[in-house]
Chain A
């Protein structure tokens, strides 16, 4: 029995050491091989809505015209977990798309997606001429560009013209606070009926990655350690949020927030007229058009800190990313699809017009075929603004955001009162975690 256990233990260890799934792919073949042989490639993406799927089919039809020998077999509603599992199992799709940029560092570091730089070089594609500079920050990590951007999301301020009572959208945080107080409607007992703006970091799109841009706050130092405690911008943002929260009363504001309907439905508080101003992505335009077409609203860039007026017009940028997983079987064809979906002006314009995301290349942005209206234009301008920023790819991206958000909730609720100590603790947690996962 003992011997048997020992044998199984040894076998187990052998399995353990042997099971680090897959191997690094060698990159593009020197020639584009037998390019015209018919080939079928698998493409996984996360789109689910009928309108999105239709737009996708139209775009893929355009691809088929250009590359008649490549057949694309698309699978919808895929999440990151499934991509990871498939790569681990050694049976990945040829092309995969992810909605979140949070995993990009992981994708690059562990080689889950292949480095696309050799393809870009071979194809003489200059990313700097094609994409705004900020996109590089969320599509590459430590010199590896393992995903390409396909459509982008930018964030701005939506305002309900009726509830604004003739006021112009605010340009600074002080103006936003003043206007919030002016536009808020309350019952005799203090119950909030309409809020000018909900400052809570727990409000739908008020996560720190979006609000931090208003004060130009930085997340990390170049070495990956936390800059949150040492950047005074975070402190000023959190104080601003707390002051405004206290003006409402935390309990009253929470009760109001918890009365909101689903963010992704027509019950969204902005579409319901429960808040006069809200931070949201460009996609809300399409949702308003579909669900509440009568809503009279406008859009503007996010307000900025009072002493940073020159940055007005900048916003947060992120987007959908697409790449070739490790172990993909038809890499050449896969690259053609990735290239088409991320650099072809017609493809991006078709997609953008249909699902109202920001096209992610500068030429597509300037395309005369791009449908524009003043409310959508705001977001295109944010995308083109050189001061717009993103959350740079970080190996612990989700953990870092969660740690800051936890601190924000504790602070806004008044359960923690020493802001310096709170942010120092955030730094400590982020830095320790970095040592754990990256050895920094």
Chain B
């Protein structure tokens, strides 16, 4: 056995170094800085230690808690709806005998539309005064709600936007559905299983990993939900980019204020970067918890599979 020299000991580290350097630079260092800044009053230029002030402010910051509730609402309502809707559309399209290509394209295209453009389009379509949706509903005497101007409807407006651009999920669900072995359905049919029972006992178990993937990525994306809420609120409130005209994030009544939006405003608009770091740590912790829960589900599934 060769003696363990210093060189031998360092060699693995050298091999690992690209990853180690990347990890230290882009994960460890930012994380440590974030923790450090969270104990400071940091206006992006000057630092002043303030102990737990930022954390105490978080506990009583109503807007932060409102934004947490809103973000959780989106996780609990929007993510499952997107999965169910995406799966439904994929089911229908895989069963089409004719025109599948056209429908596939039609349903997929919206997910290619840039977020800002898509959101602008929705706010325009759903405008209670000039929008085409109200114009059509008006002809049959129905009055559409003020989707992005009424706190009771605004999150549903964003949910519709998310359902419209469900194409990304639809594609992976279609691939999964087409991957389910045909003979399983044939065997089940011989045993007298109907469509619904086939779906529950064959389709769902086989495509479960894909559903899990959709759920995990959906939750993580939604915890970072930002652009659509920002654009919708900005356009719907009619805030203009002039001096003295202040944009109220989360319009109306903070009903679309998401956690990352509030974080961004604290750090880069109000220059309370120390406090923004507290919010970032909260987001980090919550994301970790969600990811761990979902990963456990994955592992459980893996063992079951084996």
Measured in the bound complex, the distance between the Cα atoms of B46 and A22 in whole Å is 10
Known contacts A255-B129, A258-B238; is A12 also within 8 Å of B33 by CB? yes
Whether A204 and B245, one on each chain, are in contact in the complex, defined by CB atoms closer than 8 angstroms, is: yes
Q: Which of B1-51 contact A (CB under 8 A)?
A: 13, 20, 24, 28-29, 32-33, 36-37, 41, 43-48, 50
Asked whether A368 is an interface residue with its Cβ less than 8 Å from the other chain, the reply is no
What is the minimal beta-carbon distance from A431 to any residue of chain B, in angstroms?
A: 11
- Check A260 against B33 for contact (C-beta < 8 Å): no
A409 sits at the interface (CB 8 A): yes
Set of chain B residues within 8 Å of A84, measured between Cβ atoms: 44
Of the listed residues A17, A257, A396, A433, the one surrounded by the most CB atoms of chain B closer than 10 A to its CB is: A433
Contact check: which of B46, B268, B272 meets A110 at CB < 8 Å?
B46
Docked-complex contact A318 and B243, CB < 8 angstroms: yes
Binding stretch for chain A, among B52-60, B89-97, B212-220, B284-292:
B52-60
Binds A, one of B79-87, B111-119, B171-179, B247-255: B247-255
Question: When the two chains form the complex, which single residue of A5, A17, A415 contacts B253, counting CB atoms closer than 8 Å?
Answer: A415
Q: B253–A258 contact, CB under 8 A?
A: no
| B13 contact set on A, CB distance < 8 A | 1, 4
Verify A258–B127 contact, CB threshold 8 A: yes
Asked whether A437 is an interface residue with its Cβ less than 8 Å from the other chain, the reply is yes
Q: Is A75 part of the contact surface with B, judged by Cβ < 8 Å?
A: no
Measured between alpha carbons, how far is A241 from B222 in the docked complex, in Å? 38
B209 lies within 8 A of chain A by Cβ: no
Which B residues are CB-close (under 8 A) to A12? 24, 28-29, 32-33
Q: Nearest residue in B to A105 (C-beta to C-beta)?
A: B271
Binary CB contact string for chain B from 146 to 188 against chain A (1 if under 8 A, 0 otherwise): 1001010000000000000000000000000000000000000
Write out the residue numbers on chain A whose beta carbons fall within 8 Å of the beta carbon of B60.
432
Query: In the complex the two chains form, what is the Cα distance from A180 to B44 in whole Å?
Result: 47
Enumerate A15-69 residues with CB–CB distance to B below 8 Å: 15-17, 20-22
Q: Once bound together, how far apart are the Cα atoms of A79 and B54, in whole Å? A: 29
Would you give the 0/1 interface string for A412-435, flagging 1 where the beta carbon is closer than 8 Å to chain B?
010100000000000001001101
Q: Please measure, in the bound complex, the distance between the C-alpha atom of A205 and the C-alpha atom of B60, giving whole angstroms.
A: 32
Please give me the residue from chain A that is nearest to B57 by CB atom.
Answer: A436
List the one stretch of A95-103, A117-125, A227-235, A299-307 in contact with chain B: A95-103
* Contact partners of B63 in chain A: CB under 8 A: 429
> Which of A88, A398, A436, A437 lies in contact with B246, CB distance below 8 A?
A398
Contacts of B237 in A (CB 8 A): 202
Interface membership of A377, Cβ < 8 A: no
**CB closest residue in chain A, given B237:** A202
Query: Is A335 located at the chain interface by the 8 A CB criterion?
Result: no
B238 touches A101 (CB 8 A): no
Q: Which of A106, A254, A436 has the most CB of B within 10 A?
A: A436
B252 lies within 8 A of A409 (CB): yes
In the complex, chain A residues whose CB is within 8 Å of the CB of B33: 12, 15-16
Chain B residues near A205: list those with CB within 8 A.
242, 244-245
Q: Which residues from 261 to 293 on chain B have a C-beta closer than 8 Å to any C-beta of chain A?
A: 268-272, 275
Q: Does A291 contact B (CB under 8 A)?
A: no
Q: Whole-angstrom distance from the CB of B73 to the nearest CB of chain A?
A: 18
Contact partners of B245 in chain A: CB under 8 A: 204-205, 207
Give the contact stretch, choosing among A142-150, A336-344, A400-408.
Answer: A400-408
- Cross-interface CB contact of A5 among B24, B37, B249, cutoff 8 Å: B24
Given the interface contacts A4-B20, A259-B130, A406-B253, does A318 sit within 8 Å of B244 by beta carbon?
yes
CB-CB contacts below 8 Å: A183-215 with B? 202-205, 207, 209-210
Given A102-B243, A207-B245, A254-B149, is A433 in contact with B270 using a C-beta cutoff of 8 Å?
A: yes
| A16-B240 contact, Cβ under 8 Å, with A207-B245, A409-B253 | no
Minimum Cβ distance to chain B for residue A211 (Å): 11
- Our count of residue pairs bridging A and B at CB distance below 8 angstroms stands at 143
B110 contacts chain A at the CB level, 8 A cutoff = no
A410 within 8 A of B: yes
Is A111 engaged at the interface, CB distance under 8 Å to the other chain? Answer: yes
A358 at interface by CB-CB < 8 Å:
no
Kindly list chain B residues whose C-beta atoms are within 8 Å of the C-beta of A135. Answer: none
Residue in A closest to B130 when the chains form the complex, CB atoms = A259
Judge whether A240 is part of the interface by a CB distance below 8 angstroms: no
Q: Given the complex of chains A and B, what is the CA–CA distance between A9 and B23 in angstroms? A: 12
Cβ of A13 under 8 Å from chain B: yes
Question: Which of A209, A254, A396, A406 meets B244, CB within 8 Å?
Answer: A209
Pair B243/A402 contact, Cβ less than 8 Å: no
A406 contact set on B, CB distance < 8 A: 248, 253-254
Partner of A405, one of B41, B44, B151, B248: B248
Q: Is A308 an interface residue (CB 8 A)?
A: no
Quick one: given A16-B33, A254-B128, are A437 and B244 in contact (CB under 8 Å)? no
Please, which residue of chain A has its CB at the minimum distance from the CB of B12?
A1
Q: Give the CA-CA distance A263 to B238 in the complex, in Å.
A: 9
Residues of the A chain whose Cβ atoms lie less than 8 Å from the Cβ of B254: 406
State whether the Cβ of A297 lies closer than 8 Å to any Cβ in chain B. Answer: no
Residue of A nearest to B123 (CB): A258
Q: How far is the CA of A281 from the CA of B240 in the complex (A)?
A: 14
Chain A residues within 8 Å of B46, by CB: 20, 110-111
Cross-interface CB contact of B128 among A4, A87, A255, cutoff 8 Å: A255
Q: Chain A residue with minimal CB distance to B271? A: A106
Residue in chain B with minimal CB distance to A210: B244
> Shortest distance in angstroms between B162's beta carbon and chain A's nearest beta carbon?
23
Residues of B within 8 A of A8 (CB): 24, 28-29
Q: How far is the CA of A16 from the CA of B33 in the complex (A)?
A: 6
Contacts of A401 on B, CB cut-off 8 Å?
246
- Report the separation of the CA atoms of residues A88 and B271 in the bound assembly, to the nearest whole angstrom: 13
Complex CA gap A202/B245 in Å reads 9
A112 interfacial by beta-carbon distance below 8 Å: yes
Q: Which residue of A lies closest to B27 (CB)?
A: A8
Q: Considering the complex, give the chain B residue whose CB is closest to the CB of A110.
A: B45
Chain B residues closer than 8 Å to A207, beta-carbon distance: 244-246
Contact with A along B124-155 (1 / 0, CB 8 A): 00011110000000000000001001010000
Query: Could you say which of B20, B24, B272 contacts A436, with CB atoms under 8 Å apart?
Result: B272
Return the 6 tightest CB-CB contacts between A and B, nearest first. Answer: A259-B129, A8-B24, A110-B45, A12-B29, A401-B246, A258-B129
24 pairs of residues in contact across A and B, judged by CB atoms under 8 Å: A5-B28, A8-B24, A12-B24, A12-B33, A13-B32, A22-B45, A110-B271, A204-B242, A204-B245, A207-B245, A207-B246, A254-B149, A257-B238, A258-B129, A258-B130, A263-B240, A264-B240, A264-B242, A318-B244, A402-B247, A406-B254, A432-B61, A437-B271, A439-B41
Residues of B within 8 A of A (CB): 13, 20, 24, 28-29, 32-33, 36-37, 41, 43-48, 50, 53-54, 57, 60-63, 127-130, 146, 149, 151, 237-238, 240, 242-249, 251-254, 268-272, 275
